[in-house]
Every structure is written in structure tokens, then in C-alpha cells.
Amino acid sequence: MIQNQKENETLLHDLNGELTMVMDVFYRLEKGIMKGTLTTENAKDAILEMLNNGKKRVLGISEFMKEAISPKVDFEDIARMHVKNHGGIEIKITNISNSKYLMKRIHINRILNNIISNAVEAQATVLKIAINKDSIVFMDDGEGFSKGVASSINSGKQITTRDNGHGIGTISVKKLARSYKLEMTCCNGLNGANIAFNKTA
């Protein structure tokens, strides 16, 4: 019962994020009209662009809901799809114990997208994913965590190294992992950043 409640809370969080982005499109449209920045010359194109963005977001929510209510899938299967779709970094996956971690596809994608994008930003060329009986471990060969970043993430504090970042991406992933009874921890390894998701039960 508690597990279902956590999954529902995560689903609502994700849905709220998608809806916020849709509302932002219409907010910017309204703001442009009120301030008069949408002049006669550019109004048509600007409005059409904003409405198209809104339409794409709504369609995205539809796809999001389909994934959210779909059955859980194996983490490794989705991870191997990312191997094919990320040309900017080499992703290597090992699963000697043939362990399975069943999760919602949308949640697996969120975890992978966050970790892969951070690895790419850290100039990593290789990201290794080791799937074990009691953990899923990510190891890259990038610049690693800056001083204090790993400990802040481990303690649940919002932190970002990006000029336009808000620090909630990795913390959101940490909370998401806990809904699947996985505890996320970060540290610097010998050649880059290490992120582990360890079973707690």
C-alpha cells in the first residue's frame, strides 16, 4: 500500500511538471499580448509557434500518461535502448547476475537521461552501467563531482553546477529511486563519477 502511494506521488509530481511547461507556453503568449511585444508583423508567426509548442506539450502529456499506466519493464532493456540512441558517449552495460529491476519505463528514462546528460556535461566519453543483484552502479570517465557536490546530493540538498540549473534534477531522481526501495549515493571514483542505486530491502 505504501509502495503504491509513493508511486502515485511520483506520478503526480511528473504530471505536474509536464502541465507546468504547458502553462508556461500560454503564460508567455499572454504576456506577449499584454505587453504589446507581439506586433502586427511578428504576431502571427509568434502565436503559431507558441500554440504549436503548447500542442506538442499536450501530446507529450498524452504519451506520458500512456507510459505512466503501462506495466513495469526491466531496467536493463530500456538502458540498452539508450546505448543505441546516444552517439555522444559510449555506454557499456554488464549484468553478470542476470538481475532484473522492474520499474515504470518513464521513470527509467528519467534516471538514465539525468545521469547520461550529467556525464556528457562532465566531458565523459564512456559510461559503464553495472547491474548487480543488490545494486545498479554507473561509472563514467569524466571530470567527476566538484568539491562538496556528491556529499550534498547524498544528504538530499539541491545543488547544481550549471549556470541555469535549479538543482532539482538529481535530487528528484534520488527521491524517485527511493519509491523503488533503492538508495542513490554519489562519489568520485578513480577515473570519474560513480553513482550507485543500492537496494534497501
Domain 73-199 indexed as CATH 3.40.640.10: no
3-state secondary structure of 108: helix
* More confident of the two residues 134 and 105: 134
Domain spans in the chain, listed from the N-terminal domain onward: 2-68, 73-199
* More confident of the two residues 56 and 73: 73
Give the residue among 112, 96, 114 at the shortest CA–CA distance from 104.
Answer: 112
3-state secondary structure of 73: strand
Give the residue among 160, 108, 164 at the shortest CA–CA distance from 136.
Answer: 108
Q: Give the pLDDT score at 2.
A: 46
pLDDT tens digits along 77-121: 999 988 876 767 899 999 999 999 999 888 898 899 889 988 888
Q: Give the pLDDT score at 152.
A: 84
d(CA 11, CA 5): 10
Q: Give the pLDDT score at 1.
A: 42
Percent of the chain whose pLDDT exceeds 90: 32
d(CA 118, CA 112): 10
> In terms of C-beta density within 10 A (0-12 exposed, 13-18 middle, 19 or more buried), how is residue 31 classed?
exposed
